[in-house]
Structure formats: C-alpha cells, structure tokens
Structure 1
Amino acid sequence: MTCVFCAIAAGQLPAHQLYQDDDFIVLLDIFPMRPAHVLIVSRAHAPFLKDLPTGVRDRLLALSDRIAAALRTAGYGREGINLVINDGPDSNQHVPHLHLHLIPRRPGDLPALLWRLLVRFLPLGRKRIEARLQAEAEQLRLVLSKEI
C-alpha cells in the first residue's frame, strides 16, 4: 500500500495543499494541533530525515522559514511557531514519511494544545474542523502567493 503522503504528492488523495515545488508539498494537517497547523512534506519517500539528500534537507529549513513568515503575515504564530520533526516511529511519527510540522502558537494556548494532543485522532467535530481547514487554506494560499 502506498503511504498517505506519497499518494497526496501523486495527486491520488485530496489535501488542503498550500504550495508545492520540486522537492516539497505544503499542506494543512488534517488533525491540527492548533489553527493553521502546516506540514512541509518531502515529495520523495524518505522515512527519516537522514534519508533526504543534503541539498533537499537544506531547502527544507529555508522553505520552513518562508512558510513561517507567511503564517505570521496571515496572523498565525506572530510570537512563536513550533517546528517539529518526529524522526522515526519511536518519536511518535505516525506516517513513516519525512514531514516537518509548523504549529503556530499564541499566549495561553497550552491547555487547548494539550487537550488537542489527547483527542487529536478522534472523530470529534470533523465537519467543523474541515470547514476551518478550508477557510485557513484559502487564506494561506493567498498570503503564500504573495510571499513565495
């Protein structure tokens, strides 16, 4: 079976895609920890960070800086964004395909973040979350079209 990120990169599965280039696709996490929780996903199947060629790894950090700037322009994470790579199954990596999380934060959001961590994969409020993802995707695509 094809991994979910490979299927998204191949256009076989839908995603709230925000940006793409030769090495990466940028999309909203469908189980967001916070509003505008973005993933930068390698186009090439690479289970671990070490599996990406050095030049691609370098571009990952540069792209994350540009995406973070766009998030801040759109009003997300102005004072802080968590950048997280879960590198391998023992680090809580649910999809064995390299991806970088950008999780915008705001003051006082820790209780909500912890709650979301506990219920992240439960089907609670999926319609509401999907509607929010659609609105965030439209907003962020507009900002990214001007920033990148």
Structure 2
Amino acid sequence: MDCVFCAIGSGRLPAHRLYEDEHFQVILDIYPLRPAHVLVVSREHAPYLSDLSAAARERLLTLTERLTQVLRASGYGIEGINLLINDGPVANQHVPHLHLHLIPRRPGDLPAFLWRAVTRFLPFGRKALQARLTREAEQLRHTLQRES
C-alpha cells in the first residue's frame, strides 16, 4: 500500500474531507492537537516542499489564508493559528507526503496542547474523538460553503 495521504486521495481510506481542488485536499487531522486541527494535503506525492510543483507551491499560501479565515469565522483560532510544515523525517514528518497543519490556538491552551502532543497517538477516547471530528467537519464545510 502507498502512503496514507495517497490512499485518502484515491478514496481507499476515509477522511473528514473539507475541501478539494486540483492541487490539494483539506481534511481534519485524525490525531488532532487542538479542535479543528486541519491538514492541507498535496495531491502530488511530494515528500518535501521542494518536491512540490511550482503551481502547487503558489496555491498553498492562498488556500492556507482562506482556511485561516474559515477557521476564525467558525470560532477556532480567533487569536492565533499555528501553520506548520514538518519538512522531512528529522523535522518530525510522520508521513513522507507534503502536508501543512493549521492548528487553532487559544489563550492558555499550552498545557493541554503539550499533553495532547504527548498522548495524541494513544487509543483511548477514539469514539468520542470521532464524533467530535464529524461535528467539526460539518461546521467547517458549512462555513466554507457560506464564505465561497
């Protein structure tokens, strides 16, 4: 099997899809660090940012800016959003396929953020998390449609 993001892109694995265009798919992270943790995933299998086509690199920041507006309009990350690309395995890139994280933050969330960073891959609480992700996906898709 190829990488998880290629499998999601081809429809072989499920995802909470928010948006798709010719260069990217936007999904919720299944191991979120904060509520509404969004991933912008390249349609190209590009392990590093430098492997991404010029057209996709040009589109990335425009799409990311639109998504920050959608997150804020939905009540997430009003005061701040981390934009993160882990470019290579030494940079903590778990899946060798370019993806940008949008992680909404709020004042005073650092202890919970750090705790989640340590425990995010543990199996407890998955059912409740899946229900939350479904609600967040519906809310964000609705805001994306409204803001278009």
Fold match, TM over 0.5? Answer: yes
Instruction: Please state how far the C-alpha of 1:36 moved relative to its aligned partner.
Output: 0.1
Matched residue pairs, number?
148
Task: Please give the root-mean-square deviation of Cα atoms over the aligned residues, in Å.
Answer: 0.6
Q: Contact 1:66/1:147 (CA < 8 Å) preserved in 2?
A: no
Alignment match, 1:34: 34
Alignment match, 1:69: 69
Instruction: Please state how far the C-alpha of 1:147 moved relative to its aligned partner.
Output: 1.9
Instruction: Please state how far the C-alpha of 1:143 moved relative to its aligned partner.
Output: 0.3
Matching of residue 59 in structure 1 with residue 54 in structure 2 = no
Q: Which deviations, in whole Å up to 9, do the C-alpha atoms of 1:103-133 show, x marking residues without a partner?
A: 0000000000000000010001000110000
Instruction: Please state how far the C-alpha of 1:145 moved relative to its aligned partner.
Output: 1.0
- TM-score, with length taken from structure 1: 0.98
Q: How does 1:71-90 map to 2 (within 5 A)?
A: 71-90=71-90
Q: Which deviations, in whole Å up to 9, do the C-alpha atoms of 1:21-46 show, x marking residues without a partner?
A: 00000000000000000000000100
Report sequence identity in percent. 67
CA distance in 1, matches of 2:147, 2:37: 18
- TM-score, with length taken from structure 2: 0.98
Structure 1: unaligned runs, 5 residues or longer? none
CA distance in 1, matches of 2:143, 2:129: 21
In structure 2, give the amino acid aligned to 1:19.
Y
Structure 2: unaligned runs, 5 residues or longer? none
What secondary structure, in the 3-state scheme, does the structure 2 residue paired with 1:106 have?
coil
User: Would you identify which runs of 4 or more consecutive aligned residues in structure 1 move more than 6 Å?
Assistant: none
Q: Which deviations, in whole Å up to 9, do the C-alpha atoms of 1:84-104 show, x marking residues without a partner?
A: 000000000000000000000
